Amino acid sequence: MIAALALVIFGTMAGLEGAERPNVLFIAVDDQNDWIHCLGKHPLVKTPNIDGLASRGTLFLNAHCQAPLCNPSRASLLTGLRPSTIGIYGLQPGIRDVDRTRNHVTLPQTFTRAGYFTFTCGKIYHDGSIKSADQAAEFNVWGPAPGPVRQARKFVTTPMGDHPLMDWGAIPERDEDQPDWKIASAAIEALQSAPADRPFFIACGFRLPHVPCYATKSWFDLYPEGEGLLPPVKDNDRDDTPRFSWYLHWYLPEPRLSFLRETRQWVPLARAYLASTSFMDSQVGRVLDALRATAQSENTVVVLWSDHGWHLGEKLVTGKNTLWERSTHVPLIFAGPGIARGAKSERTVELLDVYPSLLELCGLAKRPDLEGRSLVPLFKNSKAPWPWPAITTHNQGNHSIRTEQWRLIRYADGSEELYDILQDPNEWTNLAENPKFKDIKTELAKWLPKVDKPPAPGSRDRVLTYRLETGEVAWEGKTIRPSEPVP
Task: Return left, alpha or beta for 190; rule: phi > 0 is left, psi -120 to 50 is alpha, else beta.
Answer: alpha
Instruction: Say whether 70 is catalytic.
Output: yes
- Report the DSSP beta bridge partners of residue 345: 60
3-class SS of residue 258: helix
Selected catalytic residue, list 126, 210, 329, 394: 126
Cα–Cα separations (whole angstroms), residue 466 to 60, 392, 393, 472: 34, 18, 14, 6
Selected catalytic residue, list 65, 70, 121, 362: 70
Instruction: Give CA–CA dist 449/89, Å, rounded.
Output: 15
- Per-position DSSP letters for 169-221, written without gaps between them: ES--SSGGGSHHHHHHHHHHHHHHH--TTS-EEEEEEEEEESSSEE--HHHHT
Task: Return left, alpha or beta for 397; rule: phi > 0 is left, psi -120 to 50 is alpha, else beta.
Answer: left
Check if the beta carbon of residue 29 is closer than 8 Å to that of residue 304. yes
CB-facing half-sphere around the CA of 16: CA atoms within 13 A: 19
3-class SS of residue 324: coil
CB-facing half-sphere around the CA of 310: CA atoms within 13 A: 26
Nearest Cα neighbor of 130 from 164, 159, 168, 92 is: 92
- Per-position DSSP letters for 327-375, written without gaps between them: HHEE-EEEESTTS-TTEEE-S-EEGGGHHHHHHHHTTPPP-TT--S---
3-class SS of residue 480: strand
Instruction: Give CA–CA dist 480/285, Å, rounded.
Output: 46
Q: Which residues contact residue 58 at a Cβ distance below 8 angstroms, ignoring those fewer than 6 apart?
A: 333, 334, 335, 339, 340, 343, 344, 345, 378, 379, 382
The catalytic residue positions are 70, 126
